Structure 1
Amino acid sequence: MRRVALVTLVVDDDYDEAVRFYTEALGFRLVEDTPRPDGSRWVVVEPSAEGQGTALLLARAKGDVQRGRVGDQTGGRVGFFLHTDDFARDHARMLAAGVTFLEQPRHESYGSVAVFQDLYGNRWDLLQPAD
């Protein structure tokens, strides 16, 4: 079996703020937070309590080029897709936690969806796929 295990998401200098956003506002689970010898941290979060999906490696930006990409890692496109089995529940919880949605929920042939921004401005779809 093969799968994409981690996707790097470049964040600003404050790891703790990133962890808070992903765990509290989005409801992800903190999998690992290990200090590294260079002063950085190996921080992994994932949306699934079962640990069966792709996780995010929250990586602190190093240098001006990486800092310039924080929040715009996909050129303004939706670059991340958070699937849910209960759109209404997760949408309401995320709104209550202060997550910024860029549109009202839509019900498309492929499912219920709404675009939101993460802490840095990266665009995500919250998506409950159609059966």
Structure 2
Amino acid sequence: MRLHLAALVVDDYDPAIRFFVDALGFELVENTPSLTNDGRPKRWVVVRPPGAETGILLARADGARQQAVVGDQFAGRVGFFLQVDDFDAAYERMVAAGVEFATEPRTEDYGRVAVFLDIAGNRWDLLGPA
């Protein structure tokens, strides 16, 4: 058993793809036209870190209820944890790409950490070794 995908509700596909691929360095695994349950067009868009098995399904908000959670899927808490081998290189690359960090990098017992915001405003931990 394994976790294959986690869904992340976003405003629109293309800006989200650019953020995850260009700013974070993820791979675009799938970008396929699809249909909603009631026949409207949508896309099946999956991104994931290079070498990872688990991906993120970028799901465009459909309706007011879903639009209301864009950027707040985890009620203001960190909801994703992106672990990297070289924290400083990843942090510098992300800052150069315009990723917004909510905290400065710090060292904890478990390693280096800084909180950043994704394109929608959800909070993520960038984690690296101590």
TM-score normalised by structure 2 residue count: 0.93
Q: Give the aligned residue type for 1:15.
A: Y
Q: Does 1:11 align with 2:10?
A: yes
Structure 1 residues not aligned, in runs of 5+: none
- Equivalent runs, 1:17-36 vs 2, <5 Å: 17-36=15-34
Q: Which position in structure 1 is the counterpart of 2:119?
A: 119
CA distance in 2, matches of 1:120, 1:11: 6
Counterpart Cα distance in 2 of 1:27 and 1:124:
15
What is the match of residue 59 of structure 1? Answer: 59
- The number of aligned residues is 126
Deviations 1:13-72 (A, max 9, x none): x21111001100111100000001331000000012x2x332100001111010000000
In structure 2, runs of 5+ residues without a counterpart are none
CA contact (8 A) 2:86 2:129 kept: no
Given the two structures, how large is their TM-score scaled by the length of structure 1?
0.93
Q: CA RMSD in A?
A: 0.9
The offset of 1:89, in angstroms, is 0.5
Task: Quote the Cα distance in structure 2 between the aligned partners of 1:34 and 1:7.
Answer: 17
Secondary structure of the corresponding residue to residue 41 of structure 2? coil
Give the match's secondary structure for 2:47.
strand
